[in-house]
């Protein structure tokens, strides 16, 4: 029998216990032994909880230091306290399963050292019920990974889908996502792109062995999108997705999370609502695509239980996919090295010369315009939004051009740009 302790018995923790009960026979058959929850660690052990048939305690040491426990499942979230708990478990040679993406985003290489052969698994930390960690670490193990593009924040994706399909406002869409239980306790974590950034860093370690922190990445949220952006995207055959992107070029890997225009024909454009989708291109496999529920208790717990099965079977894959000291020669590309096609929105006074001067500034920096659209402001008729898309350009040039355009007398607010993923 594999005896486990759940540290955190919230939505996911309770679902782990449920799954182990409901699917006991198939899980035992696959694991080769029964997996049983023997203890739960919670803040308030006296609170009545449905379906909890194991003893509760408020002291995590009752999990990490109890000799009868084989594996600790960390589901409490946060970085520092979770690190303390996981460290104590590893020190006592207990296998660890976690769904904690923030912990891994900041401390995964330290944890890898601490684990030093003790199983440490984290399938549930990225894209909930999609077995993406195993797909990347094992299934694509023969490949150099050329790129990863993921819709890996269900909250943003739900909101963008609602904003496109029903034209609901950003605030309304966020409220709905919160009511449906998709959003993190602090929703800026979702809408600001940080949740997706943490998940991308985990995938980037598996794909590239790259040791980066959220601070090394370009992270932009979806809070600045407007109706005009959505209408432009629709008119030109795009949708807008918050994408987490890792792309290898030579010995550099660009890591970023930002809203992107995506062609409606692209598989990733079809990932709607709270669902997650990840496209990965391997140099041998070509593109592979993964789709499924990225949030929710049962889907996330399904991945945590898969890890427990692997532990029960005695699996000892390297935690981050690489034996230490291999493949670390790749480095993170600087934020100003990005090249892309761009969409630009400029709020202008609708007078002679506006388009000509804007186009001249872009041309002076060798940025070629692909399409142009002008939309009058409904409430202030003498103003208009000038909407442009460009061919591929260097981001440094585009930012400099936008700064110059923003300083023109007829421009009413700082220009906004979004990247077009192609
Ligand atoms: N808040 C996260 C999301 C939950 O919206 O995807 C799963 O990590």
On whether the CB atoms of residues 129 and 117 are closer than 8 A, the answer is no
Mean pLDDT (whole number) for 166-176: 93
Q: What angle do CA 37, 41, 46 make, to 5 degrees?
A: 105
State whether 247 and 109 are in the same domain. no
Please write down the HEC assignment for all residues of 70-106: CEEEECCCCCHHHHHHHHHHHHCCCEEEECCHHHHHH
Tokens 């008119």 belong to which residue? 235
State whether 247 and 155 are in the same domain. yes
* Residue 60 to residue 274: CA distance in whole angstroms: 33
Mean pLDDT computed over every residue of the chain: 95
Mean pLDDT (whole number) for 268-276: 97
State whether 165 and 267 are in the same domain. yes
Looking at the chain, the number of H-run helices and the number of E-run strands are: 14, 18
Q: Is the pLDDT of residue 327 over 70?
A: no
Split into its structural domains, the chain has a count of: 3
Which CATH number fits the domain that encloses residue 309? Answer: 3.40.50.720
State whether 164 and 59 are in the same domain. no
* Residue 300 to residue 59: CA distance in whole angstroms: 25
State whether 185 and 275 are in the same domain. yes
Q: Is the pLDDT of residue 328 over 70?
A: no
Which CATH number fits the domain that encloses residue 280? Answer: 3.30.360.10
On whether the CB atoms of residues 269 and 233 are closer than 8 A, the answer is no
On whether the CB atoms of residues 245 and 149 are closer than 8 A, the answer is yes
State whether 227 and 304 are in the same domain. no
State whether 196 and 264 are in the same domain. yes
43-83 residue pLDDT tens: 999 998 888 999 999 999 999 999 999 999 999 999 999 99
Tokens of 222: 């979806």
| CA-closest residue to ligand 1 atom 7 | 295
State whether 40 and 114 are in the same domain. yes
Which CATH number fits the domain that encloses residue 367? Answer: 3.30.70.260
Q: Integer distance in angstroms from the first to the last C-alpha of the chain?
A: 50
299-310 residue pLDDT tens: 999 999 999 999
Name 83's Cβ contacts closer than 8 Å, sequence gap at least 6.
Answer: 103, 107, 110, 111
State whether 138 and 126 are in the same domain. no
Tokens of 334: 């600087």
Distance 1 CA to ligand 1 centre (A): 32
Start-end of H helices in 9-151? 11-22, 24-31, 61-64, 80-91, 101-115, 132-134
Residue 345's domain spans which residues? 338-421
Q: Is the pLDDT of residue 325 over 70?
A: no
State whether 147 and 282 are in the same domain. yes
The residue among 230, 258, 237 whose CA lies nearest residue 151 is 258
Distance 398 CA to ligand 1 centre (A): 32
State whether 149 and 281 are in the same domain. yes
State whether 270 and 144 are in the same domain. yes
138-166 residue pLDDT tens: 999 999 999 999 999 999 999 999 999 99
Distance 155 CA to ligand 1 centre (A): 6
How many other C-beta atoms can be found within 10 angstroms of the C-beta atom of residue 69? Answer: 20
- Asked if 199 is an active-site residue, the reply is yes
Pocket around ligand 1: residues whose beta carbon is below 6 Å from it? 128, 153-155, 182-184, 190, 195, 294-295
Max Cα distance, the chain (Å): 79
Q: Name the strands in the sheet holding 35-41, side by side, starting at the edge strand that comes first in the sequence.
A: 56-57, 35-41, 2-7, 71-74, 95-98, 120-121
């Amino acid at each position: 029998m594999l005896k486990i302790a759940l540290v955190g018995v919230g939505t996911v923790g309770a679902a782990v216990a449920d799954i182990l009960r409901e699917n006991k026979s198939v899980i035992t058959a696959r694991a080769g032994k029964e997996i049983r929850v023997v203890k739960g660690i919670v803040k308030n052990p006296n609170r009545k909880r449905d379906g909890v048939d194991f003893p509760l305690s408020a002291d995590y040491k009752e999990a990490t230091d109890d000799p009868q426990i084989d594996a600790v499942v960390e589901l409490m979230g946060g970085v520092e306290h979770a690190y303390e708990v996981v460290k104590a478990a590893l020190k006592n040679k207990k296998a660890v399963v976690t769904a904690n993406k923030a912990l891994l985003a900041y401390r995964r290489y330290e944890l890898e050292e601490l684990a030093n052969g003790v199983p440490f698994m984290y399938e549930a930390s990225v894209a909930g019920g999609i077995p993406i960690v195993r797909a990347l670490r094992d299934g694509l193990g023969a490949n150099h990974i050329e790129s990863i593009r993921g819709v890996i924040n269900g909250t943003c994706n739900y909101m963008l889908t609602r904003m496109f399909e029903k034209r609901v406002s950003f605030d309304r869409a966020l409220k709905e996502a919160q009511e449906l239980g998709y959003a993190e306790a602090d929703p800026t974590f979702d809408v600001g792109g940080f949740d997706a950034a943490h998940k991308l860093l985990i995938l980037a370690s598996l794909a590239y062995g790259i040791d980066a922190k959220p601070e090394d990445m370009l992270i932009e949220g979806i809070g600045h999108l407007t109706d005009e952006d959505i209408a432009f995207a629709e008119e030109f055959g795009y949708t807008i997705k918050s994408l987490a992107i890792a792309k290898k070029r030579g010995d550099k890997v660009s890591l970023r999370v930002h809203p992107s225009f995506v062609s409606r024909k692209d598989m990733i454009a079809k990932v709607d609502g709270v669902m997650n989708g990840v496209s990965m291109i391997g140099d041998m496999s070509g593109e592979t695509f993964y789709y499924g529920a990225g949030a929710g208790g049962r889907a996330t717990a399904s991945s945590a239980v898969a890890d427990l099965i692997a532990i029960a079977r005695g699996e000892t894959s390297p935690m981050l996919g690489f034996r230490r000291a291999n493949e670390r020669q790749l480095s993170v590309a600087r934020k100003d090295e990005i090249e892309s096609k761009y969409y630009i929105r400029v709020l202008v006074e609708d007078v002679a010369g506006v388009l000509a001067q804007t186009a001249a500034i872009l041309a002076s920096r060798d940025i070629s315009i692909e399409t142009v659209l002008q939309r009058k402001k409904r409430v202030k008729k003498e103003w208009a939004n000038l909407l442009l898309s460009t061919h591929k350009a260097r981001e440094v040039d585009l930012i400099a051009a936008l700064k110059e355009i923003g300083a023109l007398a007829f421009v009413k607010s700082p220009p906004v740009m979004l990247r077009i993923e192609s």
